[in-house]
Structure 1
Amino acid sequence: MAMKTLNLILIVISFFTYTQSIQNSSANIKKISDTTKVIQLNTQAFRSRLINPDITISEANKALKLALKINYINGIAESYRVIGVGNSYKNSIDAAIENYLNALSYFKRNKNLEGEAKVYNNIGNLYRDIDYNKSLENFEKSLKIATKLNIKDLVAGLNLNIGTAYQQRKNYSKALTYYRESLSMFESLENKIGIIQSHQNLGVLYLNLRDFRSAEDHLIEALKKSKEEKLNNSIAAINLTLSSVHIAQSEFEEAEKTIEEGLKYAELLDDSKLVRNYTLTSFELESKRKNYFKALTYLRKAYREDSAKFVNNISDKISLLESQHIQLEKQKENELTIAKQKNTQLFLWASIAIAIMAFFVIFLLIKIVRKSAENNRELSRLNLEISKQKDDLDMINQNLEEIIEDRTRDIKIKNKKLSEYSSHLSHQIRSPVATLKGLMLLEKDDLIEKNELVEQIGKCIYDLDDKIMNINENLNNPNKSSLIGED
């Protein structure tokens, strides 16, 4: 009886063990399936960055939600990174840096060096237009890891980004070296997007070097390939540079067409920074055309957009500060899940890292607000300067018209006086000259005495002198009546 009872207990235990094993197996299969889905969502989201950044952010958020659910750390980190990339392409710098720092934190905890290298590259791109030294510092960190792991695509991309950093410092020779190396690597890897970006950056570089033909060749090649791949963001950015090339060569009609096409893509992407840059390029075009009124219209539009953007940025900063607490709370919940597998000391260091990141984000926000304020002040100054120059030109034109009118009037008066002088000279002088001529004829025929001849000649001379003096006095005295009719 005891043996039967023992066998029954063993059968029950075996059944429950088998059932639990099946359940664990099903859970593992489900987790693997969800992990694959997270990877697919992030991959698709990243590919959409040059087509529509909103799709990138939306798909990466789906991946993040699923990754958090299954506690897939690499998936969480990559989702944050891709969301940051999407925000970067939308020029939402604050949201981008927040997501990059979250991604970096998760990659470091999971000791994922490739992920860290990608995030350092992304942060370097974010700093590229703000702080040259920090940009290069992050690119070099990324390059060191990528070279060690032999990640060729990332190394090629880093060469491109480092070249751009040098171009920002106007070190064009170094920039050209990195760009050529990058293009060569992307071509060997058959990386279409990398090839497009290399041609695009070479176009910008040659524009800065004023080698317009080379710049145009590279930009047209990049534009052609971007249209083939339907990369809306790249098309908008390339057209912006290409329009500057056309303006520099005074190809105004071509520049206008390029601006029109690029602006459509910028508006389609809802990229406020690109739209503003097209407004400023239109200002540049109309200024070079000497269509100053239209140019001023574009400048005012850009100024209004900057002012509105500044107000919106302030609102966004406040909203971001308010949401940071919520974000930090969510992250603490995620860290509690991770802390089950790690000791208390690791959790403490993670909390410190998050606090440092929060201070870093606040520092960046303050810096960006100050930069926006400086830009607005500069635009206001330029607007006032243009208005003052216009007023000065109007005043100069008015003064020139008055001077020309006065000089014309003076010339007419002098011409009239000269005409009168000529007329009166011939009229008034004729009588004394005729008398002299008669006296000479009388003397020739010995019909007049020598003394009388001398006396008459003297009278003629005095008469002639009086008449000439009288004519000069009347011509030089505008208050006297005209000489016409006087004898």
Structure 2
Amino acid sequence: MKSKCLCLLVIALTVATHLSAFTVNDKSTPDSINIIKLNKQAYNNRLTDPNETILQARKNVVLAQKINFDNGVAEAYRVIGIGYDYVSQPDTALNYFFKALAIFQSTNNQDGEAKVNNNIGNLYHESDYEKSIEYFNEALNIASRVKDQDLIATINLNFGNIYYRKKNFTKALDYYTKSNELFIKVGNATNSILCSQNIGVIYYNLNQFDKAETLLLDANKRAKEKDLNAAVASINLTLTSLFEKKGEFAQAEKYLAEGLTYALLVKSSKLEYDYKLTKYELEFTRRDYKAALFSLQDVYKLDSIRYKNNVSNSLSLLTVQYKQIESQHNNEMLAAQQKKQQILFWATILVASLLLVVIFLLISNVNSKAKTNKHLTALNEKITEQKENLNQINHHLEEIIDERTKDLQVKNKKLADYSLHLSHQIRGPIATLKGLLNLEKDRLIDKDECVKLMNKCVSEIDDNIIDMSDMLHESSNKPV
């Protein structure tokens, strides 16, 4: 039994080892919970300091890799990609998004997969509307399946951005309004500010300046309260253009200067370029052509830099695409290996289960046999005991029979003796009777004398018979 128990223990340990190998990721341990918290902090910094977002998320990658927390690594990659998107490095952002997507797919994290598709759609929203919509639709399908209301609101916001760039302001406004309602419902104040900003931009483009000003100033105030530097910079661009259209140049210059400060703070080259161009437009509208010329020179320099950066980015994008193909191949290999490991795992579980069943049956069989043998042994002992009792009884009976036989032999001998004695005792009186009868027949004896003598003979015969009966009766009453 000890060897069987040891065998069971070994199998249990083997199964436990396999199970632990497949359940290392995504445990609700203090370390993994801390990484989730750090990733969320890094993500929240995107509107304040995207460079800090990148630095913090890189540290989170290392921390998550140390504890084999794959979803933590993937989320950190996604946040790094968002940081690079905010500092206008789309090629690097795309690289990190694909890294995150591959891991989320391997761990079957649908919520993470939807978020990355949404982020990739954002990268394309200014250059390729159809590609952007394709990724947004994929993200929306998954988000609807997992019922992530906050993500659904974000995707609606991004759809609004697409239709805004297509100049379909009515449809854009519908998406922004729907998105804002969802953000308020789930308590996402940050994205609600972005919705207010975008709705204000729509009203600006519809020349409803009063509505636009109210919404943009409210969004500006709330963004400052939450230290959303990138949002403030973006809002102030529209406020500058709005006050320029209204002819309130002092207000326009105020928000332009303030917004440029925030743009420099978040180190966004795109926002810096937009502010240089907006400054040129403001100076030109004010008919300060000299200042406008200087602003135009700055715009030209930035255009030149952007052209060089675009060439560099294009080359980098080709490199990234090549790496992505290689990474995809590696991911496919990894997925195949993981599938093989899963098959092996379930096969091991099945074999272990069958072994446990066989061992259970063997143990049950052994226990049943042992119980049967024990019962048979008890029966054999009982039969042996009964046999001994029968032998004793038979032996006692033989003794009794021997004694009875001897007694019968003695009685038979006595009976023979008595019979012989009786025959002698009775024959005498009977012979006398015969003689008397003959005498009486011949009238040789007196009749009375004959009767008297005959009575005497009968009495003797009767006495002898009684004596013999008493002797036999006495012999039969003797104890055995």
TM-score by length of structure 1 reads 0.62
Change (3 A) 1:97 1:29: closer
Query: 1:59 aligns to what?
Result: 56
**CA drift at 1:343:** 3.1
Greater radius of gyration (CA): 2
**CA drift at 1:281:** 0.4
Distance 2:332 2:35 in 1: 19
Q: Deviations over 1:429-473 (max 9, x none)?
A: xxxxxxxxxxxxxxxxxxxxxxxxxxxxxxxxxxxxxxxxxxxxx
Query: 1:203 aligns to what?
Result: 200
SS in 1 for 2:103: helix
Query: 2:141 aligns to what?
Result: 144
Query: 2:127 aligns to what?
Result: 130
Query: 2:253 aligns to what?
Result: 256
Query: 1:400 aligns to what?
Result: none
Alignment of 1:475-486 (within 5 A): none
Distance 2:174 2:26 in 1: 49
Select 1:193's aligned residue among 190, 195, 218. 190
Change (3 A) 1:59 1:339: farther
Query: 2:465 aligns to what?
Result: none
Q: Does 2:290 align with 1:297?
A: no
Alignment of 1:146-295 (within 5 A): 146-295=143-292
Alignment of 1:12-31 (within 5 A): none
Distance 1:257 1:231 in 2: 19
Change (3 A) 1:324 1:186: closer
Contact (CA 8 Å) 2:43, 2:79: kept in 1 or not? yes
Distance 1:69 1:123 in 2: 27
* Higher RCO, Cα 8 Å, sep 6+: 2
Distance 1:108 1:101 in 2: 10
Query: 2:303 aligns to what?
Result: 306
Change (3 A) 1:187 1:263: same
Query: 1:89 aligns to what?
Result: 86
SS in 1 for 2:338: coil
Counterpart amino acid of 2:118? N
Change (3 A) 1:29 1:299: closer
Gaps of 5+ in 1: 1-5, 347-487
Distance 1:212 1:244 in 2: 11
Change (3 A) 1:338 1:45: farther
SS in 1 for 2:126: coil
Counterpart amino acid of 2:151? L
**CA drift at 1:122:** 0.9
Distance 1:335 1:69 in 2: 23
SS in 2 for 1:63: helix
Contact (CA 8 Å) 2:25, 2:70: kept in 1 or not? no
Contact (CA 8 Å) 1:114, 1:149: kept in 2 or not? yes
Gaps of 5+ in 2: 344-480
Q: Quote the sequence identity (%).
A: 44
Distance 2:323 2:160 in 1: 39
Distance 1:239 1:233 in 2: 10
Distance 2:38 2:115 in 1: 18
Distance 2:146 2:320 in 1: 37
Query: 1:43 aligns to what?
Result: 40
SS in 1 for 2:60: helix
Contact (CA 8 Å) 1:35, 1:72: kept in 2 or not? yes
Alignment of 1:388-407 (within 5 A): none
Counterpart amino acid of 1:72? F
Counterpart amino acid of 2:214? D
Alignment of 1:347-366 (within 5 A): none
TM-score by length of structure 2 reads 0.62
**CA drift at 1:120:** 1.5
Select 2:98's aligned residue among 91, 96, 101. 101
**Number of positions where the alignment pairs a residue of Structure 1 with one of Structure 2:** 334
**CA drift at 1:66:** 2.8
**CA drift at 1:40:** 2.2
SS in 2 for 1:342: helix
Distance 2:184 2:317 in 1: 41
Query: 2:421 aligns to what?
Result: none
SS in 1 for 2:339: coil
Query: 1:79 aligns to what?
Result: 76
Contact (CA 8 Å) 1:68, 1:334: kept in 2 or not? no
Distance 1:334 1:134 in 2: 23
Change (3 A) 1:220 1:39: same
SS in 2 for 1:43: helix
Contact (CA 8 Å) 1:41, 1:62: kept in 2 or not? no
Change (3 A) 1:328 1:139: closer
Change (3 A) 1:243 1:331: same
